[in-house]
Amino acid sequence: MFSARFAHPSPLKALAAPGAPTENSHTLLISPSISYGEQDYDNLNSFANFTKKREDRPLRATLTVTIRALEKVIGYAPTLSVSYVRHRSNVDAFDYTRWSPVFEVGINVLSF
Protein backbone atom coordinates (compact mmCIF):
# COMPACT_ATOMS: atom_id res chain seq x y z
CA MET A 1 0.00 0.00 0.00
CA PHE A 2 1.16 3.49 -0.72
CA SER A 3 -0.19 6.98 -0.86
CA ALA A 4 0.71 9.36 -3.66
CA ARG A 5 0.60 13.13 -3.82
CA PHE A 6 1.23 14.83 -7.14
CA ALA A 7 2.22 18.42 -7.73
CA HIS A 8 0.35 20.72 -10.07
CA PRO A 9 1.27 20.49 -13.77
CA SER A 10 4.44 22.36 -14.58
CA PRO A 11 4.24 25.99 -15.72
CA LEU A 12 6.06 24.89 -18.89
CA LYS A 13 3.33 22.40 -19.72
CA ALA A 14 0.59 24.84 -18.80
CA LEU A 15 2.06 27.56 -21.04
CA ALA A 16 3.32 25.41 -23.88
CA ALA A 17 0.54 22.85 -24.12
CA PRO A 18 -2.66 23.82 -22.29
CA GLY A 19 -4.78 21.06 -23.83
CA ALA A 20 -3.24 21.50 -27.28
CA PRO A 21 0.43 21.15 -28.16
CA THR A 22 2.46 24.03 -29.53
CA GLU A 23 2.37 24.21 -33.30
CA ASN A 24 5.42 25.08 -35.36
CA SER A 25 4.56 26.04 -38.97
CA HIS A 26 1.73 23.48 -38.95
CA THR A 27 4.22 20.71 -39.72
CA LEU A 28 5.32 19.74 -36.21
CA LEU A 29 3.49 19.43 -32.91
CA ILE A 30 5.85 19.92 -29.98
CA SER A 31 4.56 18.81 -26.57
CA PRO A 32 6.76 19.24 -23.48
CA SER A 33 5.64 17.94 -20.08
CA ILE A 34 7.07 17.69 -16.59
CA SER A 35 5.65 15.72 -13.67
CA TYR A 36 6.69 15.19 -10.07
CA GLY A 37 5.23 12.85 -7.49
CA GLU A 38 5.59 11.83 -3.87
CA GLN A 39 4.94 8.19 -3.03
CA ASP A 40 5.03 7.19 0.63
CA TYR A 41 4.52 3.49 1.35
CA ASP A 42 2.79 2.28 4.53
CA ASN A 43 4.76 -0.93 5.16
CA LEU A 44 8.41 -1.58 5.94
CA ASN A 45 10.32 -2.56 2.81
CA SER A 46 11.89 -6.00 2.39
CA PHE A 47 14.78 -4.54 0.34
CA ALA A 48 15.69 -2.48 3.43
CA ASN A 49 15.56 -5.54 5.73
CA PHE A 50 12.22 -4.28 7.05
CA THR A 51 13.93 -1.34 8.78
CA LYS A 52 12.36 1.60 6.90
CA LYS A 53 9.31 2.60 4.93
CA ARG A 54 9.94 3.40 1.29
CA GLU A 55 9.62 7.05 0.21
CA ASP A 56 9.89 7.79 -3.52
CA ARG A 57 10.09 11.12 -5.37
CA PRO A 58 9.78 10.48 -9.13
CA LEU A 59 10.49 13.30 -11.58
CA ARG A 60 9.73 12.87 -15.31
CA ALA A 61 10.39 15.28 -18.18
CA THR A 62 9.14 14.38 -21.66
CA LEU A 63 9.44 16.06 -25.03
CA THR A 64 7.18 14.74 -27.80
CA VAL A 65 7.36 15.79 -31.45
CA THR A 66 4.62 14.76 -33.89
CA ILE A 67 5.52 15.12 -37.57
CA ARG A 68 2.22 16.32 -39.00
CA ALA A 69 3.69 17.16 -42.40
CA LEU A 70 3.87 13.42 -43.18
CA GLU A 71 0.22 12.79 -42.34
CA LYS A 72 -1.02 13.90 -45.77
CA VAL A 73 1.72 11.92 -47.51
CA ILE A 74 1.67 8.57 -45.70
CA GLY A 75 -1.68 8.67 -43.90
CA TYR A 76 -0.42 9.02 -40.33
CA ALA A 77 1.76 11.33 -38.29
CA PRO A 78 4.80 9.59 -36.73
CA THR A 79 5.66 10.63 -33.20
CA LEU A 80 9.08 10.84 -31.58
CA SER A 81 9.44 11.32 -27.85
CA VAL A 82 12.16 11.14 -25.27
CA SER A 83 11.66 10.98 -21.52
CA TYR A 84 14.08 11.52 -18.67
CA VAL A 85 13.14 9.93 -15.36
CA ARG A 86 14.91 10.61 -12.07
CA HIS A 87 13.29 8.31 -9.53
CA ARG A 88 14.64 9.19 -6.09
CA SER A 89 14.04 6.73 -3.29
CA ASN A 90 15.31 6.22 0.23
CA VAL A 91 15.67 2.49 -0.66
CA ASP A 92 18.64 2.01 -3.02
CA ALA A 93 16.96 -0.72 -5.10
CA PHE A 94 14.33 1.80 -6.27
CA ASP A 95 16.64 4.79 -6.84
CA TYR A 96 17.45 5.18 -10.54
CA THR A 97 17.84 7.44 -13.57
CA ARG A 98 16.50 6.45 -16.99
CA TRP A 99 16.27 7.85 -20.53
CA SER A 100 13.44 6.45 -22.67
CA PRO A 101 13.34 7.21 -26.41
CA VAL A 102 10.11 6.21 -28.20
CA PHE A 103 9.14 6.18 -31.89
CA GLU A 104 5.44 5.64 -32.62
CA VAL A 105 3.70 4.96 -35.91
CA GLY A 106 0.11 4.11 -36.67
CA ILE A 107 -2.30 3.78 -39.51
CA ASN A 108 -5.55 5.53 -40.20
CA VAL A 109 -8.13 2.74 -40.50
CA LEU A 110 -11.21 4.96 -40.32
CA SER A 111 -11.85 7.65 -42.87
CA PHE A 112 -15.01 9.71 -43.28
**Exposure of 107 by Cβ count < 10 A (0-12 exposed, 13-18 middle, 19+ buried)?**
exposed
Helix (H) or strand (E) holding 16: helix 11-16
**Exposure of 54 by Cβ count < 10 A (0-12 exposed, 13-18 middle, 19+ buried)?**
buried
Query: For the whole model, what pTM was predicted?
Result: 0.64
What is the tens place of the pLDDT at every residue in 76-94?
788 889 999 999 999 999 9
What is the tens place of the pLDDT at every residue in 12-56?
333 344 445 544 446 888 999 999 999 999 999 888 888 999 999
